[in-house]
Structure 1
């Protein structure tokens, strides 16, 4: 079993046909058969097509074909033209129709058993082209005998999850052509083996690159240019209207082939795929953002006990398995971070979306403004709201409806996960009750508040948000310690503090957080000359960044930061870094930007000390 996998138009069938017609294959296999599996798969037609070949070859039915002829399966489902010409195609098709009529009295099982007998003991090479479901293989495999005689079966499919279901080696995944191969294929189609005229090379390469390595697009455009005038003006016109040329007129075959992938999508994936048209061409799409948008649009169906995010991620994986989306970036642990969609598939999304009145794309996907957005009180009644993200927003107090029975429970935003960036957010008991499952908050306290301690903003209630994982507090315009008695929830994994002017003694509030992994301290988040961490603090902290502080002495030991991996200091004028950092075996990177020379020298000493302890090399980055 050999599986060839890739998106529509990438060349799977062409590769399989090249192998099928190779002289070595013709010489070494007694039987060669090619069958195209349509989306509306019919088991009986597949068996009849395969059986017809073996009947012709071995004279099970008397045919006029000579025994020395290489049998060619005429697949009535195939959309590809027969190179032998229309006359021979019609003749072979009529023979196949007569064969089908003669077999009409036999059941599918009888046809399959006859096929198995014809193949048994003989070396065969079968191509099953464009397979959409592993069910096809499950039904046919019992009639394809394995007698260890080096017979081969080749499967082509657009669906990666189908390919991995076969008892075969790892699938051969078709990739896009690079620039050189794209140019070579383009020239073959346009000039039929001749060299490209020098005056057309530059514009020709521009056209070839615009096809983004998709062979189908190169073939379609190449076929058009082969029949057009070879002038710079004509080719420039093609380059400027590439998408419309591929999508419209006599060249719709390209989009029709790609449209098969869309039509075969399950109903729950179609809106997710069409939504990709909202992103600009060549846009690298952050997967975390895409999932939030799908959920916000209502495309993701809830399935207990999975979260909507988990279900949306499964949707995404399905589209990737179908080669409709391409993973662009992966994290260090293999987690997908971003994806892209090929321009032609995006054009397909646009066409289908407009046809179905799914959405309308304009060129005017952005509004910029520096003012804060004041939201209406009705925002507290949007119980399905999941992510509220603005540059700057002002949230009103929750409405009170005393005439309603149990009215407060009616407006709890149980689904709200993200809330950014809220100005002068009053975390009253009433507000905290309404956002019980919030995971991410960013709050900015501007310099227009009254009072120096922010007591009316109830920051101590942060500790009551038991699901909160990421918190950012921006107070950079306060210029004084105005946080007051604030507390933090033990669920925090990521914390960013800016301009809080807290004394380093209050760092115990942060250090005691049991799950904290990322800590960013910006623009005098903490002030004072000395920071002495306490024993047992920062047990899980992996990333620490400090920018702009008057800290001069840091009395850290390896026991204070046992899990630290990344340390970044900017505009921090420490006399030296704690030598105890050398004993933190997890530490991999220290970055210093605009720090003192003595601090830089102490980092070098830390690296030497680590080497003497036998730890892995420490990466150091210094900038001024």
Structure 2
């Protein structure tokens, strides 16, 4: 495969950063840019240029003295609309924009649309390519949504547990993001017909429809976040073999149980680099949600670089297999991913691990040395309120440069010892720059 659209976009973004036109606000764990900021002077310049009749880049819709500016009927020349407030009243303004390609809603409050208002947006803007409507909660999906043939990007919020079959008609869609109040989402649409689809994301556990034998592989699909364990089948992954990012949400025992073959299918995703596993604990006590362990090493995706676990309640004795993943650089253990009062890192060496996050656990004693984490750069401990101390031996990890503590009060004293030890080592080496950063929240008094 050649360079992807996502990689091209990231290159353009990094170029803008290198030219000081943008500055990085946050980076992802893997090193990529997560959020950016723009300098005020440049922002004002861009706004003026965007609003000029010559560029006609975007139009912000505002409500003033009870009226929308511009009015819904004076959007003939507008191509991109952005609305922040009074969204509920916007449909009643009878908007009509035959040239509008983008409609973006950034309201701080959620708005529920019902009745005839639901169909207003697809009817008013028939050549939409981008529809970002997360704050707008649809009580039902407008049937005329499937008429937006040019749609490339769609974000919807629903009070529903089903994604209808008519979504299959959105043949040009590239990004599909669905937020729902339901814990599960039944996808009836045939996503294999959406040959341009690159990203699917939902906050629910999404089940896929039965695959027709005639369905071809989607070579472009790179991200699927929210698929259910039941849908992690051979047929699905054979048609999504270019996936790079995958999030599985639901009863993970169906996936990780040694008697099942679901993870055998996962191992066939040769391009997968990022995997998130979130266990469903709804209405069940932790004892019933606890996973028995991990499958053998050969059942993991071969190129896996980032792994996130949530609510798996694993015993710390099972973590050793993760240290054998040769390409693993980022490990995030969130929300009781592991339970138990002692983690002794003995024979296991996390040789390539650069970032380790441990969040919300009952861990009390952690025994480790720097040679267990030879490439560790950043350690994050969040809500580890029972952890007595961080292993002082981590100060010997040569690349260790950032320690972030959040609501982990008992570990503060040991964190400061590590900071002093790192500072002393750098002074002994006559280092010109002291690069170790310690962050504590709430601030230590």
Same fold by TM-score, threshold 0.5 exceeded? yes
TM superposition score normalised by structure 1: 0.44
2: CA distance, partners of 1:517 / 1:362: 36
2: CA distance, partners of 1:305 / 1:461: 25
The SS at the match of 1:464 is: coil
How far off its partner does 1:567 sit?
Answer: 1.1
Instruction: Decide which of 327, 332, 351 is 2:22's aligned counterpart.
Output: 327
2: CA distance, partners of 1:451 / 1:614: 46
Query: Quick one: structure 1 residues 337 and 594, their matched pair in 2 at CA, closer, same or farther if it must change by over 3 Å?
Result: closer
Instruction: Decide which of 185, 188, 192 is 1:373's aligned counterpart.
Output: 185
1: CA distance, partners of 2:339 / 2:329: 22
How far off its partner does 1:560 sit?
Answer: 0.9
Aligned to 2:165: none
The superposition leaves residues 163-215 of structure 1 with CA deviations (integer Å, 9 ceiling, x where unpaired) of xxxxxxxxxxxxxxxxxxxxxxxxxxxxxxxxxxxxxxxxxxxxxxxxxxxxx
| Number of residue equivalences | 309
Residue pair 2:221, 2:242 contacting (<8 A) in 1 also:
yes
Aligned to 1:482: 291
The SS at the match of 1:391 is: strand
Query: Quick one: structure 1 residues 336 and 511, their matched pair in 2 at CA, closer, same or farther if it must change by over 3 Å?
Result: closer
Q: Is 1:621 the counterpart of 2:416 in the alignment?
A: no
How far off its partner does 1:308 sit?
Answer: 2.8
Aligned to 1:412: 217
Taking the TM superposition and a 5 Å limit, the aligned residue runs for 1:114-153 are: none
How far off its partner does 1:493 sit?
Answer: 1.5
Instruction: Decide which of 83, 99, 110 is 1:357's aligned counterpart.
Output: 99
2: CA distance, partners of 1:583 / 1:360: 52
| Unmatched runs of 5 consecutive residues or more in structure 2 | 59-76, 81-96, 106-120, 122-131, 137-156, 158-179, 428-433
Structure number with the higher helix fraction is 1
Instruction: Decide which of 579, 604, 611 is 2:392's aligned counterpart.
Output: 579
Report the structure number with the largest CA radius of gyration.
Answer: 1
How far off its partner does 1:499 sit?
Answer: 0.8
2: CA distance, partners of 1:614 / 1:311: 39
1: CA distance, partners of 2:291 / 2:373: 28
Residue pair 1:427, 1:457 contacting (<8 A) in 2 also:
no
1: CA distance, partners of 2:435 / 2:101: 53
Residue pair 1:425, 1:457 contacting (<8 A) in 2 also:
no
2: CA distance, partners of 1:525 / 1:509: 15
The SS at the match of 2:79 is: helix
Structure number with the higher strand fraction is 2
Aligned to 1:548: 360
Aligned to 2:6: 309
Residue pair 1:326, 1:339 contacting (<8 A) in 2 also:
no
Q: Provide the alpha-carbon RMSD of the alignment.
A: 3.7
How far off its partner does 1:316 sit?
Answer: 6.8
Q: Is 1:344 the counterpart of 2:69 in the alignment?
A: no
Taking the TM superposition and a 5 Å limit, the aligned residue runs for 1:167-566 are: 305-312=2-9, 327-329=22-24, 338=36, 342-347=46-51, 348-350=56-58, 351=77, 353=79, 357=99, 359=101, 361=103, 365-366=132-133, 367=136, 368=157, 369-371=180-182, 372-392=184-204, 394-401=206-213, 407=214, 410-445=215-250, 453=257, 458-475=262-279, 477=281, 479=286, 480-482=289-291, 485-486=294-295, 487-535=299-347, 537-566=349-378
Residue pair 1:505, 1:531 contacting (<8 A) in 2 also:
yes
The superposition leaves residues 442-476 of structure 1 with CA deviations (integer Å, 9 ceiling, x where unpaired) of 121159x9899495582343222221111111115
Higher RCO (CA < 8 A, seq sep 6+) = 1
Aligned to 1:280: none
The superposition leaves residues 261-307 of structure 1 with CA deviations (integer Å, 9 ceiling, x where unpaired) of xxxxxxxxxxxxxxxxxxxxxxxxxxxxxxxxxxxxxxxxxxx8443
How far off its partner does 1:389 sit?
Answer: 1.9
Residue pair 2:244, 2:272 contacting (<8 A) in 1 also:
yes
TM superposition score normalised by structure 2: 0.59
Query: Quick one: structure 1 residues 575 and 433, their matched pair in 2 at CA, closer, same or farther if it must change by over 3 Å?
Result: same
The SS at the match of 2:24 is: strand
2: CA distance, partners of 1:558 / 1:314: 35
Q: Is 1:569 the counterpart of 2:343 in the alignment?
A: no
How far off its partner does 1:617 sit?
Answer: 5.9
The superposition leaves residues 404-452 of structure 1 with CA deviations (integer Å, 9 ceiling, x where unpaired) of xxx3xx51122110001223443222222121110111121159x9899
2: CA distance, partners of 1:466 / 1:442: 16
The SS at the match of 1:416 is: coil
Query: Quick one: structure 1 residues 588 and 451, their matched pair in 2 at CA, closer, same or farther if it must change by over 3 Å?
Result: closer
2: CA distance, partners of 1:450 / 1:577: 35
How far off its partner does 1:583 sit?
Answer: 0.7
Residue pair 1:570, 1:592 contacting (<8 A) in 2 also:
yes
| Unmatched runs of 5 consecutive residues or more in structure 1 | 1-303, 402-406
